[in-house]
Structure 1
């Protein structure tokens, strides 16, 4: 397990726990009780899609034929990128449920656009943090034989090594550290979140966003984060970005410190000096109290207000980084909510 030292503002640990830069986030028992009551009283129109979510299957042949830098959204925050001819995956979550077990917990709204067996050799897998909807142990076990290298935040690599991943394939980075693979620069950047997979390991591993700098493309992947001043710092240090992939889902006012509201996600994109934004962390699992389609609607409204180019590809749809297309508001065609059905009909 290696680490490349190039830090300017590295992370801080207090009593063995990693800390955020701007806040100290800790869930109290009173907050948990408030959340429980809120979940019990919640009235939603569509917690999950009632129709089939549109999806484009991705084939190995299709991927190998691509000669332009491109990204594919496979689900939730799982992204497949082809940059400089190299395959990069971010937060590969491909199991049926985002959960410690596969017989309970949030279930997928849609299949994977490509099976693990059909994937090419993945040159680099990046992980943002160790939560179950970002670090999928069963998927990693299936994927591992195809992965050349993992680049992950501090502590996450040791988890993976404990699961059987070869330590020589793992590079752990602190915030602001960089690591190059075949001319592509990967930089771990601060986010405002937390970590942990059980009752007693909170904040024992680090969380991060990722900069991916190729010869012709510059990308940003947010992982999970509340809105904070760090996005401007990343934008000043590494921007502008051709595409930002920004968390836009599983939010609520009660936990906005660690999950941005959609309007904040669009502002983060602006802070990062992004040219086009893909809203991620939505459309695959029910992880909060908003309707499944709400993140798209709110992000789109904010993007129009701020003149931001918002990209909303269907799962499995190719996005060419330097010439992205115009993508439909596909969620309106899927939704049974009356106002969205009317909006979809008027757009045709």
Structure 2
């Protein structure tokens, strides 16, 4: 018994020390904590979704789900071939161009109406607190923080490791004008040394004027949050970015729900919806969308075009790496939606609806 207790004690100490690393950030404190606790979406000491949202579904239980994920049959979750990409020189772009560049998974750069925006950047090569796990696919990690120009607005949808990367955020610090994030997430940035005056933190259904003609709206999503042992202490969100000439929905991570239709009704004329399409599974079907639901969400939003993301860089589920793209193209075979599928690094001309994108994943193993 004493040997067992000693082993457990040593393990607990190791875990405690490990969790003290800066990369885990910090849960809200002081004025921010009071604001979190006063949020109408914070109940029973946690942020809550609008609908009942169990993180795991079915009768397996969390231990069985984790065992299946780690040791169950998983075919082609990581590509054998190198992911094709284009290396666009972002440091020397024509400032008058309105473009988007996707970096794989949920990281992308937008230049629109003279402003530069970066969303959920992960450039460390890993989506985990342990750098040798959850590694980026070969060819999918060709962009680094040094490749980024100065950023006017950095959007962070929530604080999970595949959306908020400590190493990347540290390296970007001198380049970022303002951080736009969900309520509670600002604590991480303040802890990491960002000027508090540069942090714009919002609850759902709040908005902020960023500049003349630029407004960011913080909107609901159906997901969860957390970097350490205290989950749901910061909010997960989607955002609507209104520029002088364009309207972009930044979907973050979300399961399917009625909020898409509500947003589509409240914000007419969305030019581009960027929605997660990947890392789904029936065992967690309420916190990530299936590809067919992604297509429906875009319809609910009444978006003119859809960019499916959250794939092609990290294996965070049990499906084949290319399945999300195959399924959404198949679901859209009648061309009900204008779905764009750029390669990593390929320039998307935001106002050119005639631009053609090839199915770059076809033929890769």
Tell whether the structures are fold-level matches, with TM greater than 0.5: yes
Aligned with 2:297: secondary structure?
Answer: helix
Q: Give, in whole Å, the separation in 2 of the partners of 1:114 and 1:101.
A: 20
The question of whether the paired residues in 1 share the 8 Å contact of 2:83 and 2:137 is answered with: no
Q: Is the 8 A contact 2:103 2:140 kept in 1?
A: no
Distance, in Å, in 2 between the alignment partners of 1:297 and 1:142 is 35
Aligned to 1:230: 259
Match in the other structure for 1:278? 307
Greater mean deviation of Cα atoms: 107-116 or 162-171 = 107-116
- Between the aligned partners of 2:313 and 2:343, the Cα distance in structure 1 is 12
Q: Does 1:55 align with 2:85?
A: yes
Distance 1:55 1:131 in 2: 25
What TM-score does the superposition give when structure 1 sets the normalisation length? 0.89
Gap runs ≥5 in structure 1: 4-9, 337-348
* Match in the other structure for 1:73: 102
Provide the residue aligned with 1:189 in structure 2.
Answer: 219
Alignment partners' CA distance in 1, 2:40 and 2:113: 30
Q: Does residue 267 of structure 2 align to residue 242 of structure 1?
A: no
Shift of 1:69: 1.8
Matching residue of 1:331: 361
CA 1:212/1:2 → structure 2, altered by over 3 Å: closer, same or farther? farther
Aligned position for 1:179: 208
Q: Does 1:256 align with 2:285?
A: yes
Distance in 2 separating the partners of 1:194 and 1:118: 30
Q: Paired residue for 1:203, among 232, 238, 246?
A: 232
Corresponding residue for residue 19 of structure 1: 48
Distance 1:2 1:84 in 2: 35
Count residues in correspondence: 327
Corresponding residue for residue 167 of structure 2 = 138
Tell me if structure 2 keeps the 8 A contact 1:2–1:170: no
> Residues of 1 paired with 2:337 and 2:143: CA distance?
30
Cα offset, 1:111, TM superposition: 4.4
What's the CA shift for 1:30? 5.0
Provide the rounded CA distance (Å) in 1 between the counterparts of 2:303 and 2:193. 37
In structure 1, what is the Cα distance between the partners aligned to 2:203 and 2:60? 33
Residues 51 and 118 of structure 1, relative CA distance in 2, 3 Å threshold: same
Q: Is the 8 A contact 1:2 1:172 kept in 2?
A: no
What is the deviation of 1:27?
4.8
Q: Give the TM-score taking structure 2 as reference length.
A: 0.85
- CA–CA distance in structure 2, aligned partners of residues 219 and 166 of structure 1: 27
Are 1:266 and 2:289 counterparts? no
Q: Is it true that 1:35 corresponds to 2:65 in the alignment?
A: yes
State the shift of 1:141 in Å.
0.1
